[in-house]
Structure 1
Amino acid sequence: MNSLTNLALMLCFTVTAARAQTDTLQVIPPLQVPFLKISGYIETYYSYDFNTPENNTRSGFMYSHNRHNEVTLNLGLINATYNNDKFRASLAIMAGTYTNANLAAEGSTLKNIYEATAGIKIFRNSNLWIDAGIFTSHIGFESAIGKDCWTLTRSISAENSPYYESGAKLSYTSVSGKWFVSALVLNGWQRIQRVDGNKTIAFGHQLTYKPNAKVMLNSSSFAGNDKPDNDKRMRYFHNFYGQFMVNEKLGIIAGFDIGAEQKAKNSKSYYSWYTSVFIVKYSINKASISARCEYYADEHGVIINTGTDNGFKTFGYSLNFDYTIYSNVVWRIEARKLNSKEAIFTKDGNATKNNAFVTTALAISF
């Protein structure tokens, strides 16, 4: 009997001590770092190309969602940002088929960096910043992060202009927030490391005007040489787009790009290319539908080299459906078709002018 009493007392003491210990642990505040934010993004997808490419990789000018008939990861990234209104920094590491395709020319470790920047505010009472490092492109309205784009896949113009850049930029946002302007010094046209033999730097600008919540107009440019100095050819490129919210449900994006590059070193004549894209989006509650039409003309193969007489002259259109399952979870499906003037695509070993494909994706941000 005494043994049972002693055992009961010991159990009561143990439970009481454990409860006291638990209560003590609960009042210890979690570790927090002010101004630091950790976020992430994962986008998985499945795409079926009706031309059924033998190597399961879609056309060489497509870098996002470019794998055929397999469930895989387009982009997964983890991002840490620090901003205390005096200086700021960001570091984002990524993986996925987008990384493998679009950063294949970069070093083995550099190609997994989505962003790595450090910046400082120049004047305390003015929103003027200087940032340096690896950052997302100042060109275009589409990015590698699908949830921020109106369509599941990227436009041809977005796929064949810079997604990312490296260098330094000076940027200013007006007090009203209506104007944003930046000047950039860059390592090249979508480069982290400059091309071997290239000793020149490139330049760019961005000017954005938001007169109200429904309208945004953007002008961006690039000027520089992206080849070794013994084959130096200056490239000039300008991107312009406008985004218009007609009402709470209906939105429109219209964009136009034009570029020119010297035909040869010291040449006074240029090869040019241009592209246009038009997107309409209609939203109802958690669902939205987007329709896109686009045209890309690069007759001399400056950006997209096909080796054909008429070069790359391609019209495309797509229809996209999105459903927001939760506030940070989106399911998307898109049907898209490309029609070229030349037979630049391949189907069953034969050249064809058409390419159709469907893609579905699940994107989660946190």
Structure 2
Amino acid sequence: MKPLLLLLLPLTLGLARPVAAQLPTADTTATVQLYGYVDGYFGLDFPAPTDTRRPGFLYSHNRQNEFTVNQALVGAQFDDGRVRGALGLQAGTYPEANYAAEPQVLQHIYEAYAGFRPLRRAWLDVGVFGSHIGFESAISKNNWTLTHSLAAESSPYYEAGARFTYEASPKWTLTALALNGWQNIRETNRAKALGTQVQWRPSARWLLNSSTFYGNEQPTNSAARRRYFHDFYLTYAATSRLSVLALFDIGTQQARSAGQDHDSWHTGALVLRYRLGRQPGSPFTAALRGEYYFAKNGVVVRDAGPPASEPDFFVRGGSLNLDYAPTRRVLVRLEGKVLNSRNSLYDAAEQPSARTYGNLTGTIALSL
């Protein structure tokens, strides 16, 4: 893994912009695009925890009082209109936390897939790729806010499997997936999960998304507990300066406790993003977010089992984000966030009584 990273890094950092390279044996439209991304950050939490870790249900930008890298990424993408593929490798505190359950050799894979067009308007890809669930990607710079939402932190960032995408029209995109499971590269049982995604763009201002997941997420030789999940969100550009994003997710899973049918969870978020300054090219943007997350018996967020004293998990909060983009390749961000919970937000050994949590986080992100 290290030799490959060392090979890709100088190639990527040496580019001032993505390159279209002619392949000698391919169609003249074939391109290879190299990309790179680095997200360095520093944050402080209130009240200060006993070490540099943030609450265990936060996976992105999950360290405090420490200068570190959330994600360093290099990769290449190939597309000739009929065949495509990608390979991206990563390091940082985000993959360290979010890929902890994967074998070490797989923890540095951001994406690795190959695909072709079985039909004129369709793609079939197989490998590891970004999740079809949610409006946020693992690359923080592409999201409306610096830190990820509670909805994103409790749903998959990546998936491994087969993905069939059909471009029905410029307004409709339909996707069907067969997956190893709920955010896992290495299979944990003999079952496969299914997913769907429907995106509708009625106009340039609107995007409506509906994504589903169905599967059994229990290890081999464990009792099956089937999970069904639905993610819905919409974005709307109200004016040239103001955009709105609304999300609601709901899921259910067969209960671990005898005598109960299902445990359920749901989460919602509303984000307002506003470009500061009247000029179209203003480098300043602000974003305001409100959100909540509820999980009966701590399902998904506390799959190891909730404490008997507080079986249900509930947290709500808000954040204010300020962005400064001096160039199109650099984004400087500062965000303040406050969360309030019915439960302890830290492990019992750290701060058993901490139910209100705040943080201030700053990042500088560079993309090539």
Establish whether TM, by shorter chain, passes 0.5.
yes
Return the letter of the residue paired with 2:285: S
Aligned to 2:8: none
1:256 aligned to 2:286? Answer: no
Paired residue secondary structure (1:190): coil
Q: Which residue of 44, 51, 56 corresponds with 1:55?
A: 51
In structure 1, what residue type is equivalent to 2:324?
A: Y
Aligned mates of 1:31, 1:164 — CA distance in 2: 28
One-letter amino acid matched to 1:331:
V
Distance in 1, Cα, partners of 2:38 & 2:258:
46
- Answer 1 or 2: which has greater strand percent: 1
How far off its partner does 1:352 sit? 1.9
Contact 2:56 2:347 in 1 (8 A): no
Letter paired with 2:292: Y
Q: Secondary structure at the match of 1:66?
A: coil
Structure 1 residue 352 corresponds to structure 2 residue 343:
no
Letter in 1 for 2:190: K
**TM-score normalised to the size of structure 1?**
0.87
Q: Does 1:188 align with 2:184?
A: no
- The percentage of counterpart residues that share the same residue type is 40
Q: Distance in 1 between matches of 2:49 and 2:75?
A: 34
Partner of 2:10: none
What residue in structure 2 maps to residue 161 of structure 1? 155
Q: Is the 8 A contact 1:310 1:341 kept in 2?
A: no
Q: Retained in 2: the 8 A contact 1:53–1:346?
A: no
> Which SS does the other structure have where 1:54 is aligned?
coil
Max Rg structure = 1
Counterpart for residue 316 of structure 1: 317
Q: Does 1:236 align with 2:228?
A: yes
**What's the CA shift string for 1:100-130, capped at 9, x where partnerless?**
000001111101000001001012xx21110
1:247-266 Cα distance to aligned partner (Å, 9 max, x none) = 11000000000000001499
User: Counterpart in 1 of 2:114?
Assistant: 118
| Stretch deviating more after TM superposition (160-169 or 347-356) | 347-356
CA distance in 1 between counterparts of 2:187 and 2:109 reads 16
**Partner residue in 1 for 2:337:** 336
2: CA distance, partners of 1:357 / 1:232? 38
Q: Displacement, 1:32?
A: 5.1
Structure 2: gaps (5+ residues): 1-19, 24-29, 277-281
| 2:158–2:183 CA contact under 8 A, matched in 1 | yes
- Report the residue type matching 2:109 in the other structure: I
* Equivalent residue in structure 1 for 2:64, among 64, 68, 82: 68
| Alignment: residue pair count | 332
* TM superposition shift of 1:231: 1.8
Distance in 2 between residues matched to 1:267 and 1:91, nearest whole Å: 46
Deviations 1:135-194 (A, max 9, x none): 00000000110111000000011011000000001111134x211110000000001011
Report the equivalent of 2:208: 217
1 CA distance for matches of 2:107 and 2:205? Answer: 36
